Amino acid sequence: MRDDDALIMRRVQAGDTEQFGVLIRRYRRALLRLAHSRLGDPEWAEDVVQEAFMAAFAGRASYDPSFSFRTWLWTILINLCKRHWKRRATRPAQQAWSELVRADERCSSEPATETTGLTCVLQAERIERVRELLAELPEEQADALRLRFFGELTFPEIAAALNCCLNTAKSRVRYGLEKIAHTLRREEEIP
């Protein structure tokens, strides 16, 4: 936990709202990584992260500085991702098309060479495989892994964000990693 997060939030609560920008700059990239991993779409991730910051700012009066701001913010993000994921299920064809268009734009924005094309394809395949592996896990395990590796949260912070005990947070990460490792080992055995 960063002690100065609580101090910044106290200033924001006291009316120095511009200080909230420090927290946005500090956490935006990590939140984007988790949201993109959870939702699979960079535009949706951007929207959800923006919503998370707006919700945190709107709820600034209810924030208790004796608790971790980071955990509070991640909890907001996870809940918004869950809500957006439910909405997303109603538009799968539109989602698939927009992902295809964005992938094409990313790859075509670089000068066309055999190496950049191959790199772009391999990177897209790796990202997609990580999403697939996380999607195969129970939601609690996938979210714990996202918080641990994309959000770089500690186990106590994961427990607080997911509203579970410390040992449960640790076991969700461990079991999720074990399932992914088992799947990858099985895939390597297939001729």
Q: Could you tell me the domains of the chain? A: 3-189 (1.10.1740.10)
Tokens 């946005």 — which residue? 24
For residues 67 and 60, what is the distance between their CA atoms, to the nearest angstrom?
A: 13
Query: What is the rounded end-to-end Cα distance, in angstroms, of the chain?
Result: 47
The runs of H, that is alpha helices, within the chain are 3-13, 20-39, 42-58, 69-88, 92-108, 114-136, 139-145, 155-161, 166-189
The pLDDT of residue 97 is 41
Q: Which amino acid is at 119?
A: T
From 8, 21, 40, select the one nearest 129 (Cα to Cα): 40
The pLDDT of residue 114 is 54
The pLDDT of residue 164 is 95
The pLDDT of residue 150 is 82
Question: Would you say the C-alpha torsion 46, 49, 50, 51 has a positive or negative sign?
Answer: positive
The pLDDT of residue 174 is 93
For residues 163 and 146, what is the distance between their CA atoms, to the nearest angstrom?
A: 15
Q: Which tens digit of pLDDT belongs to each residue from 19-35?
A: 999 999 999 999 999 99
The pLDDT of residue 105 is 57
Triad 74, 78, 79: Cα angle to 5°: 120
* pTM, to two decimals: 0.67
DSSP structural state of residue 87? H
DSSP structural state of residue 148? I
Low-confidence ranges of the chain (pLDDT < 50): 1, 90-97, 100-101
